[in-house]
Amino acid sequence: MSIKFKQDNLVGQSNSFLNVLDQVSQIAPLDKPILIIGERGTGKELIAARLHFLSQRWDQQYLTLNCASLNENLLESELFGHEAGAFTGASKRHEGRFERAHGGTLFLDELANTPGLVQEKLLRVIEYGEFERVGGSRSIKTDVRLICATNEDLPVLAEQGEFRADLLDRLAFDVITLPPMRERQEDIMVLAEHFAINMARELGFELFSGFSEKAKRTLLDYHWPGNVRELKNVVERSVYRTNNAYVPVHDIQLDPFESPYRPRQRIKAPRQQAQALPAQDSTNALPVATTAVVAAKSNLFDFSQVQDFKTLSQDFEVSLIKQALAASQYNQKKTAELLNLTYHQLRGYMKKYQLLESQQA
């Protein structure tokens, strides 16, 4: 496990990133809890591992747990362990992460939504270095350095009462805040080259021929909401799709889901819109009705909104005719041409919808 973490080297030379690395080196040897905050994909896990490997505990256990992946009971038992018979299915005694990480470091990822009961137990473990297994009464001593990470604004959650303020105080002896990719513009190409070379190596290429100017522009102009992880994916995909060691990477596809055949998620039209259709009788009814038709054509229309197919279709026809009449200054011959109908067909529709009377009036 430790080998995997050691091989992941942190790449970057922007000031904001180098400042973080300095902070990490400074704080790593201290036996204090650390909080890492950063948007998704900014490298929180790598920083946590670096904190461990630069500490005196580097040759001891480094255990991690994603707190968001488990429900309250499982999380409690994974962290603190349980005694045999503590709950249905607990046939054997189970040692939790705090017990197994004794002497080492425990990294708790995605800490923000940890349930209150677990927060309470965490507080106690930090404060007194002891806890009880689930279903047990004996206090167990442990010496674990805690590193936590989140992409949420914990002080705000604490203000809103969704995270214990006293736990936050104790966890945040110091806080490392990772800069997002958009604040590390000068690292984009450095990271891109790094990921591209690794990918080329993985594909068995003898060399990597770099990026074309257009590809560089695309990479530099994008805002990278998914940060380093997204950049890594985009670059690796581009290298493997180019699939030629001797040609610079030219095509960068930022969105792998982009395809003319992509099945669309239906977007729910607001209910009042569908109901408003029959009521619209002015000439500006067309945009609404047209929206419905365009939406229907592009698969975006929520068909559960169609309460009366016939009325909806008729309303569309009426609004279309009214728009065409207005556009041709109420000249019926021109209106028919606009709608690609014969004059008699148009008259038929106008009669059906009692539009002739309003014309004569």
- Looking at 229, 237, 334, 347, which residue binds ligand ATP (CB under 6 A)? 229
Comparison of 12 and 96: residue with beta carbon closer to ligand ATP:
12
Strand-pair partners of 248: none
The pair phi, psi for residue 122, each rounded to 5°, is: -65, -40
Q: According to CB under 6 A, which residues from 8 to 37 bind ligand ATP?
A: 8, 10-12
Q: Which does 8 bind (CB under 5 to 8 A by kind): Mg ion, ligand ATP, none?
A: ligand ATP
Using the rule CB under 5 A, is 302 a contact of Mg ion? no
CB atoms under 10 Å from CB of 320, counted, come to 18
Torsion of CA 25, 30, 32, 34, to 10 degrees: 0
Using the rule CB under 6 A, is 42 a contact of ligand ATP? yes
Pairing of strands 62-66, 105-109: parallel
Comparison of 45 and 337: residue with beta carbon closer to ligand ATP:
45
Tell me the closest approach of the beta carbon of residue 154 to ligand ATP, in angstroms.
14
User: Measured at the alpha carbon of residue 41, what is the angle toward residues 36 and 47, in degrees to the nearest 5?
Assistant: 40
Q: Tokens in use for 253?
A: 């596809």
The piece of 43-51, 206-214, 325-333, 336-344 that touches ligand ATP (CB under 6 A) is: 43-51
Using the rule CB under 6 A, is 64 a contact of ligand ATP? no
The piece of 118-126, 201-209, 226-234, 292-300 that touches ligand ATP (CB under 6 A) is: 226-234
Q: According to CB under 6 A, which residues from 99 to 138 bind ligand ATP?
A: none
What is each CA distance from 6 to 49, 58, 100, 194, in whole angstroms?
8, 11, 21, 16
Element (H, E) at 63: strand 62-66
Number of residues engaging Mg ion in binding (CB under 5 A): 1
Binding letters toward Mg ion, positions 32-71, x by CB under 5 A: -------------x--------------------------
Pairing of strands 139-141, 130-132: antiparallel
- Cβ contacts of 353 within 8 Å, gap of 6 or more: 314, 317, 318, 321
d(CA 40, CA 24): 19
Using the rule CB under 6 A, is 180 a contact of ligand ATP? no
Q: By the criterion CB under 5 A, which residues form the site for Mg ion?
A: 45
Q: By the criterion CB under 6 A, which residues form the site for ligand ATP?
A: 8, 10-12, 38, 40-46, 151, 228-229, 232
